[in-house]
Amino acid sequence: MEERRIPLSQAEGNTSLRLDRKVAVVTGGGSGIGRAIALKFAAHGAAVRVLDLNLADAEETCQQIAAADGNAAAYACDVTDRKQVKDTFAEVAAKGPLSILVNNAGISHIGTVESTTEEDFDRVFRVNVKGFYNCMAAAIPPMKVNGGGVILNLASVAGSVGLAERFAYSMSKGAAIAMTYSVARDCLAAKIRCNSISPARVHTPFVDNYLRKAYPGREAEMFDTLSKTQPMGRMAEPGEVASLALFLCSDEASFITGVDYPIDGGFCNLHG
């Protein structure tokens, strides 16, 4: 059988990973990983719609994008509120075809099954599970009308590996991974791809604030301890997660759906 020759231009591919003419919604885009993804997408041509519970944070992200001549708009949105989510997505879709949804808005919680209160469990579920559901349910219909799209869910290694005192959080991230697989299967015919990213610890303002509150005076020591949890000896940077998100939401990843991608410095497979 004669070997099929691939043109050099095709073999090289589109290394710039452009998102030109694509409208991307990033929830929780006002800080941390969400902000890094919004900035990365805008730098590669996307029109980014930054959703956040805190409008001022979303606007700050948009200001950074505008300063670099990017296209962005901020929306105050509580992802746990089904009606508010539907109204926000309808407003976004009315101004341009929705191509990408990044489900990033989420909260953390520390506790075992015994120490986690029902109120805390419900709060984590509302944001990290129902919030993802609300946004996907609002994004998929306009994506179908537009002939396809991409959904990316921010999960965590906690959804696949047992972590101490992360009962509710692990539950929610395991659900995020399961929802990713289900949506990927159900939306194949609609040409909607759905994947998830599972980071280990990422150095965000959340980590710094947590260390200040939980370990006053010992922040540097505990930061070093948490960093060494990853076999590579450090935490991920938000921009590294954003780079993976960019690839998975670009046309370069057009043959990838229904996959959870760890970005963990070797955490899942290189322990021991």
Q: Which residues participate in catalysis according to the annotation? A: 169
Residue appearing with tokens 């409208």: 23
Query: Where does 187-234 have alpha helices with state H?
Result: 205-214, 219-227
Nearest-CA neighbor of 200 among 167, 168, 174, 226?
226
Calpha distance 203→214 (Å, rounded): 16
**Residue 132: partners with Cβ closer than 8 Å, 6 or more residues away:** 79, 103, 153, 175, 176, 179
Strand residue runs (E) in 45-183: 47-52, 71-76, 98-103, 149-154
